[in-house]
């Protein structure tokens, strides 16, 4: 940027698409170019810009500009990034440094990957396994066939003369047995292709599409206000939703609604404000305490008046000018005056309505100004030198206009952690108004200003634990002399051009921000979305780890950690940061290599320290907080495994100040390092990389545009829907798909094995035991519909219980239902069933007459009988495996069997030209033979008996979690709250985060709070 419509070359930009923050950022051009204000002045404009190569770091830029034979250093301050929006600025002039793929945003972008679920990947391996067994089985058959064929003709002597081996085509030629065997191998591959359920792929696709429809149609994931249902944008990953081990979440717009609300304050040691934060509500609901009733009545009350964005303060002692009657009204007056004056916001008066809105650098600042306005201190005009407010006069109780002369602004920065203004009021009195973080403010209080320090501190601790963002407000009066000397120093410092300019300014400011008088503290809520703490609580109970990756400052991130119960008092925080004194010192020198080296060592050291701490205790829970710059080093090859180990050991992980690229890299690290399923959730363009990198990307279709949704696999409109999406739909889909795949392999193996065994009895000649049509329709009609019904409708326990017992979700995370053991036992079961069906049928029918008429058993009779048994067995096996019957299941399972008989009838009735050997088999031969029915009954019972026994023993003695919940429901325990509590308690560990765990830790504290609320005067 070279210049802007402002004289001093500043402009405001919004960088929502880059870091997800909606506040305005200030950019400033170099002083030398800020005077170029007209198009004509660029006619002879010539400059050379030297800068670093294109890279992905959003917060750094190094370069120089050569202009009029002089070099000026360029910093990120002069750089406007692509995708940022100009706000409150009419126009700017600038030079384009990088375009297209060289821009920082594009450097952060990644190619959209194609995603497949872990189950499908595993299924591929299973297919390979079966393909291998198919080849083995086929080659065994071919070899035996080859040997038998060559045996038929030895030294001119024909053995099986009825086959005429001496006059044979190539396929059976004993003289070229090897060739015949190879050709037979191909036949066998075709014949045994039933080992591999090809229709499975089609069925899975159908099932997944139907599952996605269920997800899309779920009314409980529909957000009424925004009229947005959940939307599964890909149907590939449904079952993956049931296996998520780690959630990586964005903060702004995902956990929070990105609005700040002034909710509480502590003035002169007295706490004001009744509002409850989301987390307090969640805790209260959890405990079922009085708070709810209290609050509900208030909510009704609240609905009466229009809600004001950024303001949720309610205390009868303060509002409507009542503060005048409070004992320390002078302090209260000063408190709100400070809020109205000490900021950098710009008022915007709506000319039609006369209402005033504010554009502030940060949303909390806006919240302060709004709060001040609502409480009678309306800030309405800002000029370069003065601030005007409407103020409520305590004596006359009328609004009076007051104007304050703005003398100095001591701006906020991350090392000062405070902001002050020096103003002169109408009467000429000089005031220093200051607000800042408690860590720096309390030490700056003067002797006379500590009157209620302890009380304020106590209240602030309470606020902080509730996830509120707190600031301490203080002021002092200045006398002329003091101010003059300060102003001199300050002016000198600001006008200096040496490198230590900032330091000098800081020193000057430091000298005056002393001996302050404490006013009180504010508490602003970074408003969480509805139901976020409960949702996180449920997810934590389900054993899912939640990482927060945010572009925000560390303090903000930690606050939110508290607000969502990811952090709590008593949790050990491991903070990895590069803000140590030596690094700052080195940065001043500007030696990049030295900085990098020291930083790397420092990060490594901190990680190792953290690990030591972690291993020293296993009862405490730890939280890891790391900032973006440290993260850059922690993600380097040598450190990343250490970092991962540390992070995995911690109950919650918060990464702040992270760029989109870093978010994606962290996601990749977790995905690759843990080998488990990761889910990323975010709403902004800055989350796109993360969403694409994670196994599942969930986009929040909120206010921040569509980029995240377009890059996501599943879009929901509120964070809290994640709970239902994972715990209910995810769990179900995982269960359905894994069971369905297992079942498909099982049924095809059963079928394929009867074919193979029959081969063994027909000298591996490749003669199928069944009619061609039977075989073709096996997968298409008789057995696939129940499997699809299983895949779409089956549920082990109802949605209510899925949510009630979140630890059920661990079945998916630990992949209990699709482990190799599970798969192989299904395959084993398939083999057993195939063998049993074949031998039972052949032994029962043998060579004897099978009916009264004395007719002997032919190929077609054996085939049809065996096929009947297979159909019955696999369908009944399905009936045993599923746990949720609707009419559809019944229809498909029993319908499949009925269809077989119908088919047999129809097929037998058509002309023998088409039906060949199956002609009238059922009508004439089978139906009237009692032995056919008796054999069917016997084979079905005997074949399913082992599985049934296994099921009974497993259910009684080694129940899986869903079995137990089924038991509990069956016994009626499920509605007994105490019993459920006991069950649930087991899933809460000392290291678990979330509201429930927090409740245990804060029972006493809460009791006190409830007491306070109940007994405080309304």
Partner 1 sequence: MEGPVHIYYELDNFYQNHRRYVKSRSDKQLRSKASETETTNCAPEATTSDGSVIVPCGLIAWSLFNDTYSFAVNSKIIEVNKKNIAWLSDKEHKFGSDVYPKNFQMGGLIGGAKLNASIPLSEQEDLIVWMRTAALPRFRKLYGRIETDLAANEQITVTIQNNYNTYSFEGKKNLVLSTTSWIGGKNDFLGTAYLTVGSLCLFLAMGFIILYLLKPRTLGDPSYLSWNRNPDGHY
Asked if 543 touches partner 1 (CB under 8 A), the answer is yes
308-335 core/surface letters (b: 16 or more CB in 10 A; e: else): eebbbbbbeebeeeebbebebeebbbbb
Which of 19, 173, 250, 713 is flagged as catalytic?
250
Residue 182 binds to partner 1 (criterion: CB under 8 A): no
Structure tokens at 274: 């009744």
Q: Does 3 bind partner 1 (CB under 8 A)?
A: no
Per-residue DSSP letter, 21: -
551 binds partner 1 (CB under 8 A): no
Candidate residues 44, 70, 111, 169; the one interacting with partner 1 per rule CB under 8 A: 169
Q: Name which of 308, 317, 314 is nearest 263 in CA terms.
A: 314
Nearer CB in complex with partner 1: 508/802: 802
Residue 46 per-residue DSSP state: -
- DSSP run (H or E) holding 907: helix 887-909
What is the smallest separation between the CB atom of 183 and partner 1, expressed in angstroms? Answer: 12
Query: Which residues have C-beta within 8 Å of that of residue 142, sequence separation ≥ 6?
Result: 181, 182, 184, 185, 188, 764
Size of the site for partner 1 (CB under 8 A): 85
Stretch that binds partner 1, among 355-363, 429-437, 472-480, 954-962 (CB under 8 A): 954-962
Q: What residues have CB less than 8 Å from 864, skipping those under 6 apart?
A: 770, 771, 774, 904, 918, 921, 922, 925, 926
Identity of the residue, 125 or 164, whose beta carbon is nearer to partner 1 in the bound complex = 164
State in angstroms the smallest separation of the CB of 931 from partner 1. Answer: 5
Q: Is 859 in the site for partner 1 (CB under 8 A)?
A: yes
Q: Please compute Rg for the chain using Cα positions.
A: 38
**CA–CA distance, 591 with 583 (Å, rounded to integer):** 11
Q: Which of 42, 761, 820, 950 binds partner 1 (CB under 8 A)?
A: 761
Say how many C-beta atoms besides its own lie within 10 A of residue 200's C-beta: 21
CA distance 172 to 59: 77
Q: How far is the CB of 856 from partner 1 (least distance, A)?
A: 5
Least CB distance to partner 1 at residue 168 (A): 7
Residue 766 engages partner 1 in binding (rule: CB under 8 A): yes
Contact between 20 and 26 (Cβ < 8 Å): no
Name which of 582, 589, 631 is nearest 607 in CA terms. Answer: 631
Window of 101-109, 277-285, 590-598, 964-972 that interacts with partner 1 by CB under 8 A? 964-972
Least CB distance from residue 540 to partner 1, whole Å?
12
In the set 86, 106, 648, 951, which binds partner 1 (CB under 8 A)?
Answer: 648
Minimum distance from residue 959 beta carbon to partner 1 (Å): 6
Site for partner 1 in 877-916 (CB under 8 A): 912-913, 916
- Chosen residue from 6, 59, 67, 171 binding partner 1 by CB under 8 A: 171
**Residue 862, interface with partner 1 (CB under 8 A)?**
yes
Shortest distance in whole angstroms from residue 839 CB to partner 1: 10
Residue in 415, 821, 957, 1017 binding partner 1, rule: CB under 8 A: 957
Among 147, 672, 934, 1003, binds partner 1 (CB under 8 A): 934
Q: Distance of CA 171 to CAs 162, 178, 489, Å?
A: 16, 10, 105
For 600, half-sphere exposure in the C-beta direction (CA atoms, 13 angstrom radius) is: 13
Q: Least separation, in Å, of the C-beta of 851 and partner 1?
A: 5
What's the min distance (Å) between Cβ of 854 and partner 1? 4
Which 689-718 residues touch partner 1, going by CB under 8 A? none
The smaller minimum CB distance to partner 1, of residues 369 and 544, is found at 544
For residue 14, count CB atoms less than 10 angstroms from its CB and return exposed for 0-12, middle for 13-18, buried for 19 or more: middle
- Closer residue to partner 1, CB minimum distance, 166 or 359: 166
DSSP summary character for residue 164: -
Q: How far is the CB of 819 from partner 1 (least distance, A)?
A: 11
- Does residue 63 interact with partner 1 by CB under 8 A? no
Q: Is 713 labeled as catalytic in the residue annotation? A: no
Looking at the Cβ atoms of 97 and 144, the one nearer to partner 1 is 144
CA distance between the termini of the chain? 55
Exposure string (b/e) for 765-777, b if CB count within 10 Å is 16 or more? ebebbbbeebbeb
Q: Which helix (H) or strand (E) holds 343?
A: none
In sequence order, which residues have a C-beta less than 8 Å from that of residue 84 and are 6 or more positions away? 13, 14, 15, 17, 18, 25
DSSP SS3 for 435: strand
- The DSSP call for residue 925 is I
Among 198, 213, 941, 1007, binds partner 1 (CB under 8 A): 941
Shortest approach of partner 1 to residue 842 CB, angstroms? 7
Structure tokens at 982: 């006991």
Q: Which is nearer to partner 1, 126 or 183 (CB)?
A: 183
Binding residues among 799-858 for partner 1 as defined by CB under 8 A: 807, 810, 814, 816, 840, 842-858
**Binding partner 1 by CB under 8 A: which of 245, 670, 696, 882?**
245
Out of 66, 102, 348, 924, point to the residue binding partner 1 (CB under 8 A): 924
Separation of alpha carbons 191 and 134, rounded Å: 10
| Residue 353 lies near partner 1 (rule: CB under 8 A) | no
Closest CA to 201 of 788, 830, 827: 788
Select the span of 118-126, 270-278, 709-717, 760-768 touching partner 1 (CB under 8 A). Answer: 760-768
Please pick, from the candidates 67, 106, 973, 1001, the single residue that binds partner 1 as defined by CB under 8 A.
Answer: 973
From 162-170, 213-221, 358-366, 490-498, span contacting partner 1 (CB under 8 A)? 162-170
- Can you name the residues that pair with 51 across neighbouring β-strands? 63
* Tokens of residue 367, six digits: 């919240």
Rule CB under 8 A: say whether 769 interacts with partner 1: yes
Q: Is the dihedral of CA 26, 32, 38, 41 positive or negative?
A: negative
Work out whether 755 is an interface residue with partner 1 (CB under 8 A). Answer: no
In angstroms, what CA-CA distances link 569 with 545, 547, 619, 1001, 1002? 19, 18, 15, 8, 9
Q: Which is nearer to partner 1, 154 or 226 (CB)?
A: 154
Range in contact with partner 1 (rule: CB under 8 A) among 132-140, 550-558, 564-572, 861-869? 861-869
Task: Choose, by CB under 8 A, the member of 46, 447, 986, 1015 that binds partner 1.
Answer: 986
Active site residues: 250
């Amino acid at each position: 940027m070279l210049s802007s419509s402002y004289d001093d070359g500043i402009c405001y930009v919004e960088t929502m698409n880059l870091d997800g923050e909606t506040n305005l950022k200030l950019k400033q051009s170099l002083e030398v170019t800020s005077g170029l204000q007209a198009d004509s002045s660029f006619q002879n404009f010539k400059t050379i810009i030297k800068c670093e190569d294109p890279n992905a770091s959003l917060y750094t830029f190094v370069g120089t500009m050569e202009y009029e034979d002089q070099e000026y250093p360029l910093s990120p301050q002069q750089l406007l990034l692509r995708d940022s929006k100009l706000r409150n600025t009419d126009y700017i002039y600038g030079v384009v440094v990088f375009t297209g793929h060289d821009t920082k945003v594009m450097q952060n972008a990644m190619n959209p990957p194609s995603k497949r679920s872990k189950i499908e990947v595993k299924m591929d391996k299973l297919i390979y396994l079966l393909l291998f067994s198919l080849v083995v089985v086929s080659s065994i058959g071919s070899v035996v066939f080859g040997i038998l064929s060559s045996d038929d003709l030895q030294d001119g002597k024909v053995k099986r003369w009825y086959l005429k081996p001496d006059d044979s085509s190539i396929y059976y030629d004993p003289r070229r047995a090897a060739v015949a065997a190879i050709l037979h191998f191909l036949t066998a591959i075709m014949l045994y292709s039933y080992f591999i359920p090809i229709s499975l792929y089609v069925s899975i696709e159908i099932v997944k599409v139907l599952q996605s429809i269920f997800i899309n149609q779920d009314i409980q994931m529909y957000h009424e206000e925004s009229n947005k249902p959940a939307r599964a944008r890909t149907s590939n990953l449904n079952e993956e939703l049931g296996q998520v081990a780690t959630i990586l979440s964005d903060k702004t717009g995902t956990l929070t609604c990105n609005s700040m609300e002034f909710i509480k304050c502590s003035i002169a040691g007295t706490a004001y404000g009744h509002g409850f934060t989301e987390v307090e509500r969640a805790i209260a609901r959890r405990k079922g305490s009085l708070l709810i009733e209290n609050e509900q009545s208030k909510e009704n009350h609240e609905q009466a008046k229009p809600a004001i964005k950024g303001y949720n303060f309610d205390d009868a002692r303060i509002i409507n000018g009542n503060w005048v009657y409070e004992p320390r009204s002078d302090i209260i007056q000063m408190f709100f005056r400070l809020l109205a004056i000490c900021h950098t916001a710009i008022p915007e008066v709506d000319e039609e309505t006369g209402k005033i809105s504010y554009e502030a650098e940060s949303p909390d600042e806006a919240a302060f100004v709004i709060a001040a306005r609502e409480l009678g201190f309306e800030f309405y005009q800002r000029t370069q030198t003065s601030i005007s407010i409407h103020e409520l006069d305590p004596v006359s109780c009328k609004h009076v206009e007051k104007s304050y002369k703005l003398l100095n602004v001591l701006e906020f920065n991350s090392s000062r952690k405070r902001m002050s203004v020096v103003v002169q009021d109408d009467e000429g009195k000089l005031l220093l108004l200051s607000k800042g973080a408690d860590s720096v403010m309390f030490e700056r209080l003067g002797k006379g200003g500590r009157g209620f320090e302890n009380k304020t501190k106590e209240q602030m601790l309470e606020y902080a634990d509730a996830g509120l963002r707190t600031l301490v407000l203080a002021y002092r009066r200045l006398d002329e002399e003091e101010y003059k000397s300060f102003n001199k120093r300050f002016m000198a410092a600001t006008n200096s051009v040496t490198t230590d300019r900032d330091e000098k300014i800081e020193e000057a400011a430091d000298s005056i921000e002393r001996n302050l008088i404490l006013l009180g503290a504010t508490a602003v809520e970074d408003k969480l979305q509805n139901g976020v703490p409960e949702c996180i609580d449920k997810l934590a109970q389900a054993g899912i780890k939640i990482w927060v990756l945010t572009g925000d400052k560390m303090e903000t991130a930690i606050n939110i950690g508290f607000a969502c119960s990811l952090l709590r008092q008593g949790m050990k925080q491991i903070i990895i940061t590069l803000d140590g004194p030596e690094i700052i010192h080195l940065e001043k020198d500007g030696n990049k290599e030295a900085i990098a080296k020291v930083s790397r060592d420092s990060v490594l050291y901190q990680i190792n320290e953290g690990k030591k701490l972690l291993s020293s205790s296993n009862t405490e829970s730890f939280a890891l907080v790391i900032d973006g710059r440290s993260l850059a080093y922690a993600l380097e090859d040598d450190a990343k495994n250490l970092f991962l180990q540390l992070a995995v050991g911690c109950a919650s992980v918060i990464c702040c100040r992270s760029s989109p690229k870093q978010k994606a890299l962290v996601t990749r690290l977790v995905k690759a390092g843990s080998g488990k399923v990761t889910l990323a959730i975010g709403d902004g363009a800055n989350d796109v990389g993360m969403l694409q990198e994670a196994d599942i990307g969930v986009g929040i279709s909120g206010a921040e545009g569509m980029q995240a949704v377009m890059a996501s696999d599943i879009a929901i409109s509120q964070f809290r829907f994640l709970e239902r999406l994972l715990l209910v739909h995810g769990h179900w889909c995982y269960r359905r798909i894994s069971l369905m795949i297992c079942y498909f392999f099982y049924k095809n193996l059963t079928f394929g094995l009867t074919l193979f065994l029959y081969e063994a009895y027909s000298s591996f000649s490749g003669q199928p035991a069944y009619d061609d049509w039977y075989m073709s329709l096996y997968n298409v009609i008789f057995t696939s519909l129940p499997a699809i019904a299983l895949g779409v409708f089956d549920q082990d326990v109802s949605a209510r219980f899925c949510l009630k017992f979140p630890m059920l979700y661990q079945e998916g995370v630990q992949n209990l239902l699709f482990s190799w053991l599970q798969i192989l036992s299904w395959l084993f079961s398939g083999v057993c069933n195939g063998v049993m069906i074949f031998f039972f049928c052949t032994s029962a029918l043998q060579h004897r007459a099978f009916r009264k008429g004395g007719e002997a058993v032919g190929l077609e009779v054996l085939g049809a009988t065996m096929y009947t048994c297979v159909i019955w067995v696999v369908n009944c096996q399905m009936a045993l495996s599923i746990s949720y019957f609707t009419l559809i299941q019944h229809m498909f399972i029993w319908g499949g069997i009925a269809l077989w008989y119908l088919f047999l009838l129809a097929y037998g009735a058509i002309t023998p030209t088409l039906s060949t050997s199956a002609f009238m088999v059922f009508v004439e031969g089978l139906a009237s033979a009692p032995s056919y029915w008796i054999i069917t009954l016997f084979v079905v019972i005997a074949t399913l008996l082992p599985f049934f026994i296994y099921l009974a023993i497993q259910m009684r003695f080694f129940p899986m979690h869903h079995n137990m919940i089924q038991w509990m429901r069956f016994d009626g325990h499920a509605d007994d709250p105490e019993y459920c509590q006991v069950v649930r308690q087991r899933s809460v560990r000392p290291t678990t985060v979330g509201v429930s765990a927090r409740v245990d830790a804060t029972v006493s504290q809460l009791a006190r709070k409830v007491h306070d609320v109940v007994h405080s005067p309304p």
